[in-house]
Amino acid sequence: MPENFRDIIKYAADKISKRGVDEFEVYAISSKENQIEVYQQDIESLSFSESSGIGIRIINNCSVGYAYTSFLEKHQILDCIDRAVANAQATNSEEFNTLPQSDDYLYPAKQGEQKLSFDNNFFNYTMNDKALAAKKLEYATKARDKRIIGISNSSYQDSEAEIILINSNGFFDSYKKSWCYLYVNAISRSGEDTSTGDYFGYGKHLGEIDIENIAGNAAQKSVSVLGGKKIKSRKADLLLHPLVGAQFLSLIAGALAADSIQKRKSLFRGKLSEKLFSLDIDIYDDGVMPSGLASSPFDGEGVYKGKTAVFEKGVLKTYLYNTYTARKDGTKSTGNASRSSYRSVPSVGINNFYIKPGKSSFEKILSSMDEGFYVLDIIGLHSGANPVSGDISVGAKGIWVEKGILSYPVKEVTIATDFLSLLKSIKEVGDNLSFMPLNGFMGSPALLIDKVMISGT
């Protein structure tokens, strides 16, 4: 962090307040990042950076303007203010365009402590430790199975950041955030067939990551689909790996943002209080979950976060709101204003979003299947799923299940359904919740889905 970062932010705020605009906000991030990639036990690349920048939001006559700068010289900050003010003249005026005030908050008190998003143990690890972790991961993954011929990527990434927000309603608060991430992708070969499998781990510091667990999962994902074949097109039950469940859940989560609802771009419009699942499923968006990578005390516009029940017993209870969309619907912000950096305007996003686990173990669900497809991996989610129409059609690989037993690998097939059918057709929820970072932090247990169309030969 630049020594005078707080001074810079105060300088910006002070200069804007003299411009006579109705409201303003300065959102600032200062961060340090490291990234290490290893290849055949050597460092292939190592990068590090320290950076900081500010984003300025102006609201004048209920019109919003935005500008940011990564270069924090005084004349650039003044230029940034000029641009934000000018941009506020280009956008439409709307009464709901205001900064949050205390009566906009659904969760009025700060629930998160500093440790929610940051762990001091982060500082216990040197660059050397981090490089070693990626090397260990590469080695451990390769050692798992003779059929693994190479590791195309074994990498470590981390970030340590301070987020500061100041606005003209008197909000001035900050929090620190730390995260680190290990990733590996294993290539395996058997005869003519090549297959890949990847896995990852994350935590607020390196000590929270289980390297052997990542290695084992990546290796298994890679070799278990070797020799996979196409199957005949048919309808079949699907057993979704928790991380596949999480990917489908991310689609649904996006369609629950109040913004999509208000703009008539979501199938969940008009469905509040309806039971959309056939099972009594609970789904939460928890902004203050202690182990969540998306946890922080306040959201992208300074609204304190909490735990929101989105579905309870299969019934849609609420959409997810920032201040603008909440005012428009005459309700309160759920603390879901999200922004990926100081370069972006706050929008409506997801915090830690997950399906509450059920009671059945994975093995029990598997053994209950007469015939079906255990989906280990899907590809093409961003292009094969239309969040507006709700159609889903993605590529998949995995293992065919016969009489409760994993019997042979399957690849190059697609599975097709749509959002609402998918919700309705969940037959069973496992007890094994797993999370992954996906425009928020998504978590799902294994899910058993009734009769979905699979396309093969």
Partner 1 sequence: MIDKELLSRVLAEMLGGGGSFAEIYTQKNRNNSLKLEDSKIENAVSGFDLGCGLRLWRDDSIFYAYVDSVKKKDLLDAARALARISKSETNARSIEINANQSLGDRSLVMPSAVDNDYKKNLLLKVDKVTRDYSQNIAQVSAYISDSEQEIHIANSNGVSSYFTLQKVILSVSAIAKRKKEIRTGHKSYAKTLGYEIFEQKKPEDVALEAAATAVKMLEARGAPTGEMPVVIGPAFGGVIFHEACGHGLEADAVIKDASVFKGKIGKKIASDVVTAIDDPSLKGHWGYYGFDDEGCRSSETVLIKDGCLMEYMHDLKSAVKLNQSQTGNGRRQSYRYMPYPRMSNTYIANGKSDPKDILGSVNRGIYAKEFAGGQVDPATGDFVFGISEGYMVENGKIAYPIKGATLIGNGPQVLKKIEMVGNDLAFAPGFCGKNGQSLANEVGQPTIKVSNMTVGGTET
Query: How far is Cα 409 from Cα 270, in angstroms, rounded to an integer?
Result: 42
Residue 402 sits at the vertex; the CA angle it makes with 398 and 404, to the nearest 5 degrees, is 95
78 vs 309, beta carbon nearer partner 1: 78
**Residue from the set 3, 330, 403, 457 that interacts with partner 1 by CB under 8 A:** 457
| E strands, 253-404, in order | 283-286, 307-312, 315-316, 337-338, 347-348, 352-355, 371-379, 391-402
Measured from the CB of residue 329, what is the shortest distance to partner 1 in angstroms?
Answer: 14
17 vs 194, beta carbon nearer partner 1: 194
Interface mask (CB under 8 A) for partner 1, residues 276-315, using x and -? ----------------------------------------
Q: How many chain residues bind partner 1 (CB under 8 A)? A: 81
127 vs 143, beta carbon nearer partner 1: 127
Query: How far is Cα 207 from Cα 406, in angstroms, rounded to an integer?
Result: 34
Query: How far is Cα 164 from Cα 228, in angstroms, rounded to an integer?
Result: 50
4 vs 70, beta carbon nearer partner 1: 70
289 vs 385, beta carbon nearer partner 1: 385
Residue 436 contacts partner 1 per CB under 8 A: no
Measured from the CB of residue 206, what is the shortest distance to partner 1 in angstroms?
Answer: 18
83 vs 147, beta carbon nearer partner 1: 83
67 vs 365, beta carbon nearer partner 1: 67
The strand pair at 352-355 and 283-286 is best described as antiparallel
379 vs 405, beta carbon nearer partner 1: 379
166 vs 186, beta carbon nearer partner 1: 186
State which H helix or E strand residue 135 sits in: helix 127-143
Query: How far is Cα 151 from Cα 181, in angstroms, rounded to an integer?
Result: 17
In this chain, which stretch among 105-113, 288-296, 409-417, 433-441 interacts with partner 1, using CB under 8 A?
409-417
Measured from the CB of residue 330, what is the shortest distance to partner 1 in angstroms?
Answer: 18
358 vs 390, beta carbon nearer partner 1: 390
Measured from the CB of residue 153, what is the shortest distance to partner 1 in angstroms?
Answer: 8
Interface mask (CB under 8 A) for partner 1, residues 314-353, using x and -? -----------------------------xxx--------
Site for partner 1 in 111-150 (CB under 8 A): 127, 149-150
- Cα distances (Å, whole numbers) of residue 240 to 252, 311, 398, 432: 16, 20, 9, 12
Site for partner 1 in 223-262 (CB under 8 A): 230, 233
Site for partner 1 in 153-172 (CB under 8 A): 153
Query: How far is Cα 59 from Cα 100, in angstroms, rounded to an integer?
Result: 12
Alpha helix ranges (H) inside 310-441 = 323-328, 362-368, 381-384, 419-424
Measured from the CB of residue 246, what is the shortest distance to partner 1 in angstroms?
Answer: 17
Query: How far is Cα 206 from Cα 121, in angstroms, rounded to an integer?
Result: 8
Report CA dihedral (148, 153, 154, 160) to the nearest 10 degrees: -160
Separation of CA 165 from chain center: 22
Measured from the CB of residue 376, what is the shortest distance to partner 1 in angstroms?
Answer: 13
Amino acid in the structure at residue 369: M
Measured from the CB of residue 380, what is the shortest distance to partner 1 in angstroms?
Answer: 3
Residue 194 contacts partner 1 per CB under 8 A: yes
Site for partner 1 in 39-98 (CB under 8 A): 39, 42-53, 64-72, 76, 79-80, 83-84, 86-92, 94
Site for partner 1 in 376-395 (CB under 8 A): 379-386, 388-395
Query: How far is Cα 301 from Cα 171, in angstroms, rounded to an integer?
Result: 10
Task: Answer yes or no: are the C-beta atoms of 55 and 337 closer than 8 Å.
Answer: no
Measured from the CB of residue 373, what is the shortest distance to partner 1 in angstroms?
Answer: 13
CA proximity to 258, closest of 369, 182, 336: 336
Site for partner 1 in 255-274 (CB under 8 A): 263-265, 267
115 vs 382, beta carbon nearer partner 1: 382
State which H helix or E strand residue 234 sits in: strand 234-240
Measured from the CB of residue 379, what is the shortest distance to partner 1 in angstroms?
Answer: 5
If you write DSSP's letter for every residue of 373-391 in order, what string do you get?
EEEEEEE-HHHHB-TTT-E
